[in-house]
Amino acid sequence: MNLKRAVGIAIVLFWCFMNVLLVKRQLAAPPPPVTLSTVSAITEPLEEWWGVYFHGEKIGYSSQKITPQSGGYGVQSASLLRLDLLGTTQTVTSRLEMSADSEWAMKRFDFALDSNNIRFNARGELASGKLRLQIYSAGERTETEIAMRQPPYLLAVLKPYIVTQDLEPGKEHLFPTFDPATLSQQLTSVTIEGREVIQIAGRMEPAIRLRQQFKGISVISWVDGKGRTLKEESPTGLSLVKQRADEATVIPGARSLSIDLLAQTAVPVATPIRDPGRKEFLRLRLSGFDLSHFALDGGRQRLDGDNLEIRREDLDSVHSYALPANKQRFASYLQSTPFLQSDHPQIRALAGSIVKGESDAVKAAARIKDWVYRELAKEPTVSIPNALEVLQTRKGDCNEHTVLFNALARAAGIPAKTVVGVVYLRGAFYYHAWSEVWLGEWISLDSVLNQFPADVTHVKFVEGEIDRQIDILQLIGNLKIKVIEAS
């Protein structure tokens, strides 16, 4: 089974925007002066192509075209990534079309992601301070609105905009941005760090080095005087390099990205945890990241300095209740969302047939967990998971199991939420997603590993839907875990 919560999200966002690359670059000395002229406006079409590499092996490509239009710009982006996950080859493609005004702020967009016959499509148009969204998945259309204080930018166009604005170097500039893959908005900071000469295709080219930061993630890009991306790099082995179109679209030998990507993002530990499913208590020492960025203390977890203690819940001591739960108190954990459609007739009907009139919350949660574990094939999936899509395909990894379980639980009147962190498996901690359900207190439940409650090696870092889950990317390549006690 695949435990790749954060990795899956990173892959999706990387190919949507080519920006989510976890980079930490320390310069030994200031770069030498570099002569580089910049433009004040984009007046002619700009087309860019990049090859995508993992540890020197080409695994895909991306492209972007910006076309000046009356009153603004048109943007078209596309990408292809070939992945080999647990012995199955998956081709992931994304497409983004967008219209921006003369200041590069978004007016409308159309985004699509395809992965092995699983398709997600979102369209949005900004009007009267609201972004009106249409979401297409599993043959269904969902409409919703998001309030916008000001027109946002898409990350895809920040770099050419920044270059044309002649922003002050060394100063942090803040931009409201919108993410079509997670349907979320955030503030993105951009700093022009300097100018330097880099090597591209055997040539030395002058470049502007930009740092973008959002959700605790730091991204480095090298761009030319028109804002075209020359290179992006990641210590995880992913890199993006400018190429001609005919070069970019060739993947030698039709090779694919090794499953080693999952192993390399796992967090190894020196002390093995034997028979983790039987442990009742776990004490870990965490390091390598800012602990204050995560709500580690609460529920079954207790944080003391950098030591984290986890005690497994006891279902025998849980004070259950008759369904449904109090809707007013738990409204946010019972409501339907664009990715978790708990009020859809198919979801509600299935929840009813699974629960079969059981009114006890603990017993009903166990029935739903058993059904999801039994009925969903355990297959690696690179997608933006939503409950209706999973219900149709009946397959997926921890992401898909969790989103379908949560939708069914909410439909049955059980408050449920997604949590993301790591879980111990075969000598290391892997990034993973599971559920928590309200049973008089929040109780962990893992429908892909068939655990209720989840074992103590489930270490929770964040909770919420995909717009919150990308916070976990701060940990990849940084998190270190030492096992102090397991009993």
Q: What is the pLDDT of residues 376-410, one digit of tens each?
A: 998 877 778 889 999 999 988 898 999 999 999 99
Domain boundary among 254, 283, 298: 254
Partners of 184 in the beta sheet? 179
Element (H, E) at 53: strand 46-54
Residues 382 and 150: their CA atoms lie apart, in Å, by 32
DSSP string, 186-250: EEEEEEEEEEEEEEETTEEEEEEEEEEEETTEEEEEEE-TTS-EEEEE-TTSEEEEE--HHHHT-
Q: Give pLDDT tens digits for 236-279.
A: 567 889 999 999 999 876 554 444 566 667 899 999 999 999 99
User: Would you put residue 327 in left (φ > 0), alpha (ψ -120 to 50) or beta?
Assistant: alpha
Domain boundary among 222, 254, 286: 254
Contact of 386 with 367, CB cutoff 8 Å: no
- Model pLDDT for residues 287-310, shown as the tens digit of each residue: 999 899 898 999 999 999 999 999
Name residue, tokens 């369904």.
323
Q: Verify that 39 and 148 share a domain, yes or no.
A: yes
Q: Examine residue 186 and state whether it is found in any structural domain, yes or no.
A: yes
Per-residue confidence (pLDDT) for residue 3, from 0 to 100: 37
In a domain, 47, yes or no: yes
> How many domains does one find in the chain?
2
What are the start-end ranges of the E strands in 353-439? 377-378, 395-396, 416-425, 428-438
Query: What is the phi/psi pair of residue 227, to 5°?
Result: 85, 10
Residue-wise pLDDT for 63-121, tens only, equals 999 999 998 999 999 999 887 665 667 788 999 999 999 888 899 999 998 887 778 89
Q: What is the pLDDT of residues 24-60, one digit of tens each?
A: 222 233 334 554 556 567 888 989 999 988 778 888 9
What CATH number is attached to the domain comprising 455? 3.10.620.30
48 closest CA partner among 18, 69, 71: 18
Split at pLDDT 50, 70, 90, the class of 464 is confident
- Is the CB of residue 303 less than 8 Å from the CB of residue 468? no
Question: Does residue 442 have a pLDDT over 70?
Answer: yes
∠ CA(19), CA(21), CA(26), 5° rounding? 120
Q: How far apart are CA 120 and CA 82, in angstroms?
A: 18
**Position 259 in a domain:** no
The answer to whether residues 24 and 170 belong to one domain is: yes
Neighbours of 428 (CB within 10 A): 18
Domain of residue 316: give its range: 266-486
109 & 146 share domain = yes
